[in-house]
Amino acid sequence: MKLFFISDIHGSLYFLNKALERFKAEEASHIVILGDELYHGARNPLTRDYNPKAVAETLNTYAAKIIAVRGNCDSEVDEMVLKFPMTSTYSSILFENKRLFLTHGHIFNDKKLPPLSSGDVFFFGHTHIPVAKKEEGITIINPGSISLPKESNPNTYGVLEDGTFYIKELDGTVFKQIAI
């Protein structure tokens, strides 16, 4: 199984479509969204082709393949237009005998981890900065942002396959990788 990770879409139809092109090219089975699907938030500029309604409609065509958590720019009303659940602030899934803890990053993050065990993998978004590191037996990953990267990073997404997580640029070039 191959999982495709994105975070911080912030209503950008342009960058969502770029990411979905990569999802198809990667031939991943599911899309994991780490929050901030529809809105840009008061601290962020408008994204390229900002269109939350069209982003919702586009994501809905993939609803059966999406696992999503709520970001700080998301709200309960968003589930009225989305056909997949996304109001939980975190989720845990099991993947290849590993616990994957999924969250946006505004509550739990790499500086404030939830209770985890050695061997677990912690995924977060929110900072718009790609991260791939290990601390005290826990793998910590942030795929970056597809629409609003920060600190001169490229627009990125992530792929988890065969025990390795790859952070990739939107052209498919590997930016960082880490064994989980």
Which pTM does this prediction carry?
0.96
Task: Tell me if 76 is assigned to some domain.
Answer: yes
- Number of neighbours of residue 23 by Cβ within 10 angstroms: 19
12: left (phi over 0), alpha (psi -120 to 50) or beta: beta
Task: Provide the residue range defining the domain that includes 28.
Answer: 3-89+144-179
Cα–Cα distance, 38 to 57 (Å, whole number): 11
**3-state helix, strand and coil shares in percent for the chain, rounded to the nearest 5:** 15, 30, 50
pLDDT confidence bin for 152, thresholds 50/70/90:
very high
Q: Which amino acid is at 84?
A: F
Residue-wise pLDDT for 85-138, tens only, equals 998 999 999 988 899 999 999 999 999 999 999 999 999 999 999 999 999 999
- Here the CATH number for the domain that contains residue 14 is 3.60.21.10
Task: Tell me if 82 is assigned to some domain.
Answer: yes
Cα–Cα distance, 158 to 75 (Å, whole number): 24
Task: Tell me if 130 is assigned to some domain.
Answer: no
Q: How many structural domains comprise the chain?
A: 1
Radius of gyration for the chain, computed over Cα atoms and rounded to the nearest angstrom: 15
The average pLDDT across 155-163 equals: 96
Q: Is residue 9 a contact partner of residue 32, using CB atoms and an 8 Å limit?
A: no
Interhelix angle for 52-60 vs 13-26, to 10°? 20
Residue-wise pLDDT for 22-80, tens only, equals 999 999 999 999 999 999 877 888 888 999 999 999 999 999 999 999 999 999 889 89
Task: Tell me if 25 is assigned to some domain.
Answer: yes
SS3 22: helix
Q: What is the DSSP letter of 43?
A: T
Cα–Cα distance, 114 to 63 (Å, whole number): 28
